[in-house]
Structure 1
């Protein structure tokens, strides 16, 4: 889960200015959305894995675990096709033990490091408007139980200023999308122009309109700094704490926190197409809609919308009933 404190990076202030305790912002430590599918394997695959010699079996599980760990450290999703090619030795890819090895690796990740490996939620996989690539994705999620103040989350995200800026901006973006977005194709979408204007209202140093073509993302977008490269403090020799939203949004899309889609403007060919953003599967797993609603209410100094919270609870109850019915069958 993310830090319960909104970093100073999302408000205009000098980089060496301390945050007064009264300015810190805490939000509900709600659990992420329920209904995610577990990683499992057929008994026949598990049997074939156990029939391998001990060294080959250990090497397979270690290789897959290492692959997952590096993905977790970089914050990237795991693509099952790439996992099979990159983590499995060529002489063992035809043994038909992939799911069994992945299951053993996920158990090792959870028992040793406290990470869980999860598939996207059912409502993501069943939504035909979501990109098909999500069906083959796995995500590494930190599931260590936090306290009511979110001290664990704050400690891991406060190690680097860039991480504080990133998580604060991400929470703002998710909140604006969910609470201010327009429902299209059973998803909440927010136009890029509206998103930038909302972010500009929080930090006037963020442009009020998208800066199209400003950056050439030649490097790995998942590791690029989102701290502004344009506004530097000459006396301190450090970058401004205002995030570079263009880079950040591309990074969030790459990491599956966001989904980006181009919509036409009412069929008018004279108008430019407009990019919009929706919440991606990783955000549902790590943050959850209830957390987003509470955070947005805190930012806007309002009470959480009871209608939105009730709709989520109803959806979760329906999904759980469907799971129970499938198990009984």
Structure 2
């Protein structure tokens, strides 16, 4: 990262608390320098209600068989959570050895979800209701579950800072996700009954202005740079504060922090499009873990302004107007 952009970058990535671990643990240094107001994320949907017949079947199982089924399922879901992978309910049930003939699927999924919440503070949930009603939202997101950290944080974000500062890449990733969401929300095209969207090339241009070590243009499909973007790995040790945006953005799309789609006159009409243009918008994981209210306050803090009341009202209206969804499982088969 260039020297002239180092101070800007510090606004978006948490400082390493290792300078004074004891004070940080007790909150002594939390909030020193730039701080973010802690806003609640979007209200997500709970998992559908279990079927009474399947709860009865699970309760009747031999205790050892029941424990094996629920524990296996809970472990698979936990490892998915730690890798930030979305959860396909039917797939994890199959991986845990729970099949149609067992007739315990919904009850086992509920019990495994309860364990994650009680032991780790991880809540299994679906995307917010208003997002399901967005025009053009890919159907695949409607059937995905996510694991969200529901441990109550302090006003200074002590818990979040501690867990994301364990490894340097985690801090960089978290800062990047918040920054990109902020740019999309402030600079993206606003749509009625849909997410704000931004051309990928415009996003790169803005990121380059923040840090000139970031390329000005996204990778061209078919080039070696585009192919290398698929090789991102988590947990790697690095002292470089500027991430490889090509790979990190691609990984964040995989994690569902962002939605990436081909641009067309139907889904993006405010600019003249070029061949190969792609759109970036906020994904369901960003809504569940961060929320638009937090993004609005983040942008206001960066600009030294008060949060825009009209934007906050827009968020509240979306939540209030979203109709209740059917919270029961549809008939389905677990292969």
- TM-score scaled to structure 1, two decimals? 0.82
Question: Partner of 1:85 in structure 2?
Answer: 94
Query: d(CA) in 2 for partners of 1:145 and 1:270?
Result: 44
Instruction: Note the alpha carbon deviations across 1:5-34, whole angstroms, 9 max, x for none.
Output: x973958xxxxx99x999842122110112
Of 288, 299, 309, 2:302 maps to 299
Question: Partner of 1:48 in structure 2?
Answer: 57
Of 175, 189, 192, 2:197 maps to 189
Contact 1:258 1:283 in 2 (8 A): yes
Question: Partner of 1:276 in structure 2?
Answer: 279
Question: Partner of 2:176 in structure 1?
Answer: 169
3-state DSSP of counterpart to 2:146: strand
Question: Partner of 1:209 in structure 2?
Answer: 217
Question: Partner of 1:75 in structure 2?
Answer: 84
3-state DSSP of counterpart to 2:190: strand
Q: Tell which deviates more after alignment, 283-292 or 302-311.
A: 302-311
Contact 1:197 1:208 in 2 (8 A): yes
Q: Tell which deviates more after alignment, 111-120 or 179-188.
A: 179-188
Change (3 A) 1:219 1:181: closer
How many pairs does the alignment contain? 301
Listed as ranges, the matches of 1:16-55 within 5 Å are 24-55=33-64
Question: Partner of 1:230 in structure 2?
Answer: none
Listed as ranges, the matches of 1:56-71 within 5 Å are 56-71=65-80
Over 6 Å off, 4+ runs: 20-23
- TM-score scaled to structure 2, two decimals? 0.80
Report the alpha carbon displacement of residue 215 of structure 1 after superposing the two structures with TM: 4.3
Query: d(CA) in 2 for partners of 1:101 and 1:308?
Result: 41
Instruction: Note the alpha carbon deviations across 1:119-174, whole angstroms, 9 max, x for none.
Output: 11112223341111112211111100001000110000001110111100110001
Higher strand share: 1
Structure 2 gaps of 5+ residues are 1-7, 14-18, 21-28, 328-335
Q: Tell which deviates more after alignment, 297-306 or 193-202.
A: 297-306
Q: Tell which deviates more after alignment, 241-250 or 310-319.
A: 310-319
Change (3 A) 1:317 1:10: closer
3-state DSSP of counterpart to 1:72: helix
Change (3 A) 1:9 1:162: farther
Query: d(CA) in 2 for partners of 1:195 and 1:189?
Result: 10
Instruction: Note the alpha carbon deviations across 1:207-244, whole angstroms, 9 max, x for none.
Output: 2221333142486646375x8xxxxxxxxxx6522111
Structure 1 gaps of 5+ residues are 1-5, 12-16, 228-237
Question: Partner of 1:199 in structure 2?
Answer: 207
3-state DSSP of counterpart to 1:242: coil
Listed as ranges, the matches of 1:217-236 within 5 Å are 217=228, 221=232, 223=234
Question: Partner of 1:131 in structure 2?
Answer: 138
Question: Partner of 1:152 in structure 2?
Answer: 159
Query: d(CA) in 1 for partners of 2:207 and 2:305?
Result: 18
Instruction: Note the alpha carbon deviations across 1:81-121, whole angstroms, 9 max, x for none.
Output: 321221225xx442221111010001100111111111111
Q: Tell which deviates more after alignment, 64-73 or 199-208.
A: 199-208
Query: d(CA) in 2 for partners of 1:219 and 1:177?
Result: 23
- The answer to whether residue 141 in structure 2 is matched with residue 120 in structure 1 is no
Query: d(CA) in 2 for partners of 1:293 and 1:126?
Result: 22
Contact 2:127 2:284 in 1 (8 A): yes
Instruction: Note the alpha carbon deviations across 1:173-232, whole angstroms, 9 max, x for none.
Output: 01111121103462210111111121122212112221333142486646375x8xxxxx
